[in-house]
Structure 1
Amino acid sequence: MASVEAGTGDEVARLRRELEQLREENHRLSRLLDLRGQGTAPAPEQLAAPVAPGLVTMGSPVEDKLALYADRFRARPDVYAVRWENQRIGTAGWMPAVAGGWRKGMDRRAAAHLPLTAEVVAAHLVGDMFLGLYPLLTDNTCRFLAADFDGSAAVLDALAYCKAARADGVPAALEISQAGRGAHVWVFFTGAIPAATARAVGTVLLHEAMVLRGSMDLRSYDRLFPNQDVLPDGGFGNLIAAPLQGRPPS
């Protein structure tokens, strides 16, 4: 019984140390923003203002919510990916969705890819499948940019990226991974822009996030999506897991 109590006490002490470190980090970043002339007060909640006509809320019809999701996370409409898992041997991965499913010996060049529809999005959101999006469009443009962070410092680095975006007047949305060990930061554009331009914006924000993090080098940063400026011959470019999946895979 004594060993259990000792273990619990050690865990509480560790959590208190981590909390204090996070407070110190938050205070340091706030001071940096103050030095740059940026306010650190939280923005007012969206619903504190009167609900504008056409604004999608919790009480909106399902069709409106699906349309909003599809508009924000607008990717290639002619193809999407699905996540597969083999629990017997412990492997998992992604593959483009095709009519009839993939079969052994199937010619990939002759496969009929399935389009991304509202029904597919709905299945993802309720957890019946896990959707992968191809952000790089066929004309080498994109409608969003996502920065991927992984590892123990992922959330702090992603927050620094968000603060850099806010300092430059770029609206950014932070998504914590399902496992809690990574993060995506999404930037949405009002229209399609060249992927090279979007990626340049992301690169600038990364450099500014490094300044905000001080001595930290953003080691958790993985890559930007789209991952390419130009669509590769015969390929779709790198996919990114769609957010808000209803039921995380086991």
Structure 2
Amino acid sequence: MEARICIEDELAAIAQKLSELEREKAALLSRRNELHASAQGSSPTQLTPKQKAELFRNLFRGRQDVYAVRWQGSGGRSGYAVACENEWVPGICQKPRIKCGECPHKKFKPLDFSAVYDHLSGKHVAGLYPLLWDSSCYLLAVDFDKEDWRADVRALAQACRDEGIPYLVEISRSGAGAHLWVFFSESFMLRPLSVKP
């Protein structure tokens, strides 16, 4: 029995050390990126469109075979739909009678340089499918949209800084919320998680 407790203690210590090393690695990668940017003297305004698109694609990694595009209806409704070469093509597209995923004529557009460039230049708003086919992911996005979202996002940002975890914050389109993004150098497996206040 005592040997089992020792093994469990050692396994817990190893797990904690691995977690610490992962945070240290993330901080070092972030610092390395800062140093590279300083050494090259590049700011986002000095990057070529291709460099900006590649930087964006390196951060926001997800499925490359498909992406979504934001739509806005005449009644003020909005949402995202999968980008399809055949969308609204007469005689081919059968929306809204048939859902895109069930359409025999679906020809989803890949998330390529052109799609990213069009997103960055404002031609459309692209939506990423972050969950890969093997149920892994390269990023974490935390959505803040409750009344006290500003305090909440500041608290999480401070926790990230305290732990040396690189992050980005963006204000939501509505201005009444924010997203905090954490990017990982390697993919991680996902499992169901739901946090309720």
**TM-score of the superposed pair, with normalisation by structure 2:** 0.69
- Which ranges of 4 or more aligned residues in structure 1 deviate by more than 4 Å? 46-50
The residue matched to 1:67 in structure 2 has which SS?
A: helix
- Matching residue within 69, 78, 82 for 1:92: 78
Find the counterpart in structure 1 of residue 169 from structure 2.
174
Contact 2:169 2:180 in 1 (8 A): yes
Task: Quote the residue 1:68 is aligned against.
Answer: 55
Deviations along 1:71-114, whole A, 9 cap, x unmatched? Answer: 10111101101111112x23222111112115334463321211
| Amino acid aligned to 1:153 | D
Gaps of at least 5 residues in structure 2 are 1-32
Give the whole-Å Cα distance in 1 for the aligned partners of 2:59 and 2:146: 26
Distance 1:113 1:49 in 2: 36
Aligned counterparts of 1:146 and 1:181: Cα–Cα separation in 2: 16
8 A Cα contact 1:56 1:65, kept in partner: no
For residues 142 and 164 of structure 1, the distance between their equivalents in structure 2, rounded to whole angstroms, comes to 22
Instruction: Label 1:124 to 1:49 Cα distance change in 2 as closer, same or farther (>3 A).
Output: closer
Distance 1:154 1:106, change over 3 A: same
Equivalent residue number for residue 160 of structure 2: 165
Kept in 1, the 8 Å contact 2:53–2:120? The answer is no
1:204-238 per-position Cα deviation (integer Å, ceiling 9, x unaligned): xx8xxxxxxxxxxx95xxxxxxxxxxxxxxxxxxx
Secondary structure of the corresponding residue to residue 45 of structure 2: coil
Measured in 1, the distance between the counterparts of 2:34 and 2:134 equals 37
The residue matched to 1:58 in structure 2 has which SS? helix
Displacement of 1:162 in angstroms is 0.9
CA–CA distance in structure 2, aligned partners of residues 95 and 50 of structure 1: 36
Compared CA separation, residues 168 and 126, structure 1 to 2 (3 A): same
Looking at structure 1, the residues matched to 188 and 79 of structure 2 have their Cα atoms a distance apart, in angstroms, of 29
1:126 match: 121
1: CA distance between counterparts of 2:58 and 2:36?
Answer: 23
Aligned to 1:41: none
- Structure 1 match to 2:87: 101
What is the CA-CA distance between 1:155 and the residue it aligns to? 1.8
Q: Partner of 1:52 in structure 2?
A: 39
Equivalent residue of 1:51, what SS? helix
Task: Tell me the equivalent position of 1:141.
Answer: 136
Partner of 1:155 in structure 2? 150
User: Secondary structure of the residue that 2:179 maps to in structure 1?
Assistant: strand
Matched to 1:191, the amino acid is E
In 1, the alpha carbon distance for the partners of 2:140 and 2:70 equals: 21
Q: How many residue pairs get matched?
A: 156
CA-atom RMSD in angstroms: 2.8
Q: Secondary structure at the match of 1:146?
A: strand
